[in-house]
Amino acid sequence: MPDITLTIDGVAVTVPQGTGLVEAAREAGIEIPVFCHHPKLVPVGMCRMCLVEIGTPKIDPATKQPVLDENGKPVIAMQPNLQVACTNPVSNGMVVKTNTAEVEFARKGVLEFLLTSHPLDCPVCIKGGECPLQNLTMGYGPSVSRFDYDDKVHFEKPIPLGPLIDLDRERCILCSRCVRFEDEIAGDSVLGFANRGRAWMIQSKSNPPFNSKFSGNTVDICPVGALMNGEFRYAGRVWEIKPVPTVCPHCPVGCNMTLDMRYRDIKRVQPRSNEWVNEIWLCDRGRWGFHFVTSDKRLTKPLVRRGGELVETTWQEALEDIAQRLHGVVQNFGGNAVGGLAGGRLANEDLYLFQKLFRELLQSPNIDSRNGTLDEPEHDDLAYAFGLASGTDLGQLGKGTTVLVVGADPEEEAPVHLLRLRGIKRRGGELIVANGRPTKLDASATRTVRYQYGHEAHFVLGLLSAVLEGGSENKEFVRSRTKNLDALRTALRPFGVAAVAEQIGVAADVFQAVAQSVAGAENLVIVYGREAFAAGTPLLQALGNLALITGHVGRPGNGVLPIMRYNNSRGALDMGVRPGKGPGYTNVVKEGLTAQQMVQAAGNGKLQALYIAGLDPVAANPASRAALEKVGLLIVQDLFLTPTAQIADYVLPASSFAERDGTYTNAERRVQRFRAARNNLGDSRPDWQIFAGLGRALAAMVRQPALDTVAASAGKPTGKRPAPAQPVATARTWLYRSTDDINAEIVQQVAIYKGASYAQLKSSHGTWGRQAADDPVFYDGTSYTNTEGFGVQWPTLAEQTNVVFDLVFSQPTTPQPRNGELLLVAAPRLYDGGTLMQNAEGLSFWVAQPYVGVAKADAERLGIASGDRLRLSSAQGNVELYAKVDGLVGPGTLLVPDLAEIPLGQVQTGVLTPVRVEKVEG
């Protein structure tokens, strides 16, 4: 876009075309005060705070040339009235004056008017101290009001606007930022104005009230204390709070946030601005879901089973006993008799040490980051090869970008991705949403495709065929970077567009249109989620092939974005907590058991010891309890006494994310650092410390020649003093003093993390956010400036231009419901009521009641009405749920929200499960 040069208060500034005047002025270091304007929202010009004088070069109507004065300078025609800066885009030669007497007088007037109906209760207002109205009144307002106090408008105050948010209508200045955020950014039109004149007010239009997963952001951007975080209202004043940078532990978006601490208490959670990840937003689960940290159910002491009871013990005793017994098992039965499960909620540092503990000290290849239930997908390797290339910013992509969403429900799985994907469409990109059921994203899509569950892979294979049949593949890329296209063509023969269209009930021209948009786009982002994983490897391969043959990998703005289950599921794979691959997706000598196989082996008595950290197989599938009880030595490391911990021999209390340092890797492979905000609870310890302690105890016992040589070479005197940066931990000592030591080792050992040292994670540039000392007026909300860095996205394989990819194909399978069986689908839910939602009272309102959604046609056929109790049984087991007949799923499918309360693992035989349905009394 061409650049525009204009003059603001005598300062010449050059900005891209389309920039607003307020932003241009900011660029020049000049403040134009605003209330209703927000850099992320479409300007509306409601508050008139930004009035300025604007002039444009005079144009001679005859020649269409600027009129020049005697000095050869263009004559500027000033507009007769003051203009609002926020709705006026810049134009060439424009002259703007922001500090004339007239402008200052107008600002005074606007503020005096705003304050006529303002209660002026700053001393008890929770916005006081970070309130733009306060600040601008101090900066530009009149010092006295001519308005009689008794005539002020008076409402009942404050009232709850929703379960989480309170509204003080007296304070509202009717700027409509909240309404516009919900409409434009979140896509939930739940707020609106009511009445007219002095009774003009904000109200919630939805039932239940303020039904949006992003409601907290309206509090941030409200320029007054009208919208309030209900929990924070009496928590202290904002200047008494110390924000500690952290990363959200709830979902794989990895939003940057702060824990706002008043002494030892977390008072609120606020976003940190990171344009690469969450911009300045958070979802409500991230914002209000921190209360599990202070739950009184947290474990505070190591426990050991004595005489059938779990009793308290000391760390030293526990670690030494465990080391002794693990060592015993390894000596008597070999490393194969030991298994380890560590979940994607642990930090990278923990996970690295965990796999090192197993692979090096226990000689066991059996580690995994899954629960061992049948519905768990294959580990995702696609992002390693074709993940969103580094340098991709979903917040920048727009025109020319196609986003293909397959089997994902971003609103529930990764809420802030929903905002970012909507943004791509807002900026002119295409958003194609394919799923077996309607999701919230449909409303924002340029095209929705509805396939039958179980045909995810068929759909993508159909797309592949459409691309190849239309000859629209990227021939140059296919020639230079891929091989075996012919084999793929042959394999695709049964999956021609016509055949697939017929089979899965999607029109053939839909395939053609989608294929065209995918192949023709400059950038392609493929998003897939938990429901897509149902199709397993065939789907992943098909998606990879689609990105490959259209040449959409390895360039910024292109690649796949898998949404996995836990916040650090990606980190768990990166660190090699899985049977087949080591840290950094390297091959391992010996393939170990998967989580499922471990549970089985436990049941067969083949597994002598099992170490479970941050996972809960028994809660996921109560049937695995019997198997795990057979394990001779069961060690569980967790925050809570989970159902698995209750049957353990040792229970080790771990610290929560708020009490420790570490890094998480988000869905986009961005490694981000989080910091400790409070002290460890009781005797609990960070996971890495527990692993390191155990490692030290074990290393002292294990006399292995391999270790000795490693230790010897590490400790060999070189005549020089060792450089201080040298990691202190050796195979022999396992002496890690802090996560810095582990990070240094990871950077050294794991190739893809080469650029992810703590120093590099800290780099940030051009950050913006909460009004800083030098930027007091441009108000974009209470999100904090990012001081902890933007993190580092590790590079994918496809970014190395010399790698050639094989176009592999495997035959898709579909679950075959036998006669009368229906397909059970678990729909992810953000508010799942799980352990991490404990104590979050505000959120509990949103946790759905358990139900099973039945399609209308099936309900009629089987004589089911809403409220009937149904028993769903599969080969695995059964669950009983109340039926809700709704139109959300197509016939032949049952939809069950994935809530912690429903023991779905009991019946699932895969991500999709054929079940028999019968009515029961009750």
Q: Which is nearer to other proteins, 105 or 263 (CB)?
A: 263
> Least distance in Å: CB of 166 to other proteins?
10
Phi/psi of residue 579, nearest 5 degrees: -70, -40
**Tokens matching residue 92:** 């060439």
251 binds ligand SF4 (CB under 6 A): yes
Piece in contact with ligand FES (CB under 6 A), picked from 48-56, 460-468, 850-858, 862-870? 48-56
> Least distance in Å: CB of 685 to ligand FES?
51
Fill in the DSSP letter of residue 298.
B
Site map for ligand SF4, 395-434, x if CB under 6 A?
-------------------xxx------------------
Select the residue interacting with ligand FES from 48, 291, 325, 427 (CB under 6 A): 48
> Least distance in Å: CB of 181 to ligand FES?
15
319 binds ligand FES (CB under 6 A): no
Q: How far apart are the first and last CA of the chain?
A: 66
- 3-class secondary-structure state, position 11: strand
Q: Which does 34 bind (CB under 5 to 8 A by kind): ligand SF4, other proteins, ligand FES, none?
A: ligand FES
Q: How far apart are CA 615 and CA 565, in angstroms?
A: 12
Select the residue interacting with ligand FES from 13, 25, 34, 342 (CB under 6 A): 34
Question: Which residues are CB-contacts of 649 (< 8 A; sequence separation ≥ 6)?
Answer: 304, 305, 633, 634, 635
Q: Which strand (E) or helix (H) includes residue 715?
A: helix 705-715
Q: Is residue 406 within 8 Å of 459, Cβ to Cβ?
A: yes
Q: How far apart are CA 341 and CA 351, in angstroms?
A: 10
Q: Which is nearer to other proteins, 58 or 152 (CB)?
A: 152
Q: Which does 696 bind (CB under 5 to 8 A by kind): other proteins, ligand SF4, ligand FES, none?
A: none
Select the residue interacting with other proteins from 61, 80, 197, 717 (CB under 8 A): 197
Q: How far apart are CA 4 and CA 95, in angstroms?
A: 12
Please count the residues of this chain forming the interface with ligand SF4, following the rule CB under 6 A.
39
Piece in contact with ligand SF4 (CB under 6 A), picked from 224-232, 369-377, 387-395, 859-867? 224-232
Fill in the DSSP letter of residue 579.
S
By CB under 6 A, what part of segment 55-94 binds ligand FES? 84, 86
Select the residue interacting with other proteins from 67, 76, 77, 153 (CB under 8 A): 153
> Least distance in Å: CB of 233 to other proteins?
7
Site map for ligand SF4, 279-318, x if CB under 6 A?
---xx-xx--------------------------------
Q: Which does 632 bind (CB under 5 to 8 A by kind): ligand SF4, other proteins, ligand FES, none?
A: none
Q: Is residue 100 within 8 Å of 82, Cβ to Cβ?
A: no
Residue 487: CB atoms within 10 Å: 13
By CB under 8 A, what part of segment 6-35 binds other proteins? none
348-356 vs 687-701: helix crossing angle, rounded to 10: 20
Q: C-alpha 660: how far from its chain's center? A: 20
Q: Is residue 654 within 8 Å of 688, Cβ to Cβ?
A: no
Closest by CA to 213, choosing from 408, 413, 403, 406, is 413
> Least distance in Å: CB of 129 to other proteins?
8
Q: 3-state SS string over 91-132?
A: CCCCEEECCCHHHHHHHHHHHHHHHHCCCCCHHHCCCCCCCH
Q: Which is nearer to ligand SF4, 67 or 120 (CB)?
A: 120
**Tokens matching residue 353:** 């040490």
233 binds other proteins (CB under 8 A): yes
Q: Which does 429 bind (CB under 5 to 8 A by kind): ligand FES, ligand SF4, other proteins, none?
A: none
CA dist list (Å): 852 to 175, 609, 821, 823, 838: 42, 38, 15, 12, 24
Question: Which residues are CB-contacts of 133 (< 8 A; sequence separation ≥ 6)?
Answer: 35, 114, 118, 127, 173, 223, 224
Select the residue interacting with ligand FES from 7, 9, 39, 45 (CB under 6 A): 45
> Least distance in Å: CB of 548 to other proteins?
59
Q: Which does 45 bind (CB under 5 to 8 A by kind): ligand SF4, ligand FES, other proteins, none?
A: ligand FES
Q: Which does 283 bind (CB under 5 to 8 A by kind): ligand SF4, ligand FES, other proteins, none?
A: ligand SF4
671 binds ligand SF4 (CB under 6 A): no
152 binds other proteins (CB under 8 A): yes
174 binds ligand SF4 (CB under 6 A): yes
Piece in contact with ligand FES (CB under 6 A), picked from 30-38, 150-158, 646-654, 781-789? 30-38
User: Which residue is at the shortest CB distance from ligand SF4?
Assistant: 286
Select the residue interacting with other proteins from 157, 301, 426, 606 (CB under 8 A): 157
Q: How far apart are CA 884 and CA 181, in angstroms?
A: 32
Site map for other proteins, 102-131, x if CB under 8 A?
-----------------xxx-xx---x---
Q: Kind of pairing, strands 878-885 and 482-483? A: unpaired
21 binds ligand FES (CB under 6 A): no
Q: Which is nearer to ligand FES, 51 or 497 (CB)?
A: 51
Site map for other proteins, 234-253, x if CB under 8 A?
xxxx-xx-------------
**CB contact burial 637-649 (16+ within 10 A = b; e otherwise):** bbbbbbbbbebbb
Strand order of the β-sheet with 670-674 is 662-665, 670-674, 792-793
Q: Which is nearer to other proteins, 125 or 698 (CB)?
A: 125
CA dist list (Å): 255 to 149, 184, 217, 280: 44, 20, 13, 9
Select the residue interacting with ligand SF4 from 8, 226, 329, 692 (CB under 6 A): 226
Select the residue interacting with other proteins from 154, 242, 483, 737 (CB under 8 A): 154
> Least distance in Å: CB of 847 to ligand SF4?
15
198 binds other proteins (CB under 8 A): yes
877 binds ligand FES (CB under 6 A): no
- 3-class secondary-structure state, position 611: strand
Q: How far apart are CA 189 and CA 210, in angstroms?
A: 9
Closest by CA to 689, choosing from 741, 645, 727, 641, is 741
Q: Which is nearer to ligand FES, 45 or 209 (CB)?
A: 45
**CB contact burial 285-313 (16+ within 10 A = b; e otherwise):** bbbbbbbbbbbeebbebbbbeeeeebeeb
Residue 478: CB atoms within 10 Å: 19
50 binds ligand FES (CB under 6 A): yes
Q: Which does 86 bind (CB under 5 to 8 A by kind): ligand SF4, ligand FES, other proteins, none?
A: ligand FES
46 binds ligand FES (CB under 6 A): yes
Number of H helices, E strands in the chain: 28, 37
35 binds ligand FES (CB under 6 A): yes
Phi/psi of residue 674, nearest 5 degrees: -125, 160
- 3-class secondary-structure state, position 712: helix
Q: How far apart are CA 458 and CA 410, in angstroms?
A: 22
Select the residue interacting with ligand SF4 from 26, 107, 118, 678 (CB under 6 A): 118
Piece in contact with other proteins (CB under 8 A), picked from 227-235, 680-688, 793-801, 909-917? 227-235
Q: Which does 416 bind (CB under 5 to 8 A by kind): other proteins, ligand SF4, ligand FES, none?
A: ligand SF4
Query: Interface with ligand SF4 by CB under 6 A: which residues?
Result: 118, 120-122, 125, 127-128, 131, 133-134, 171-178, 202, 222-227, 248, 250-251, 253-255, 278, 282-283, 285-286, 414-416
Query: Interface with ligand FES by CB under 6 A: which residues?
Result: 34-37, 45-50, 84, 86
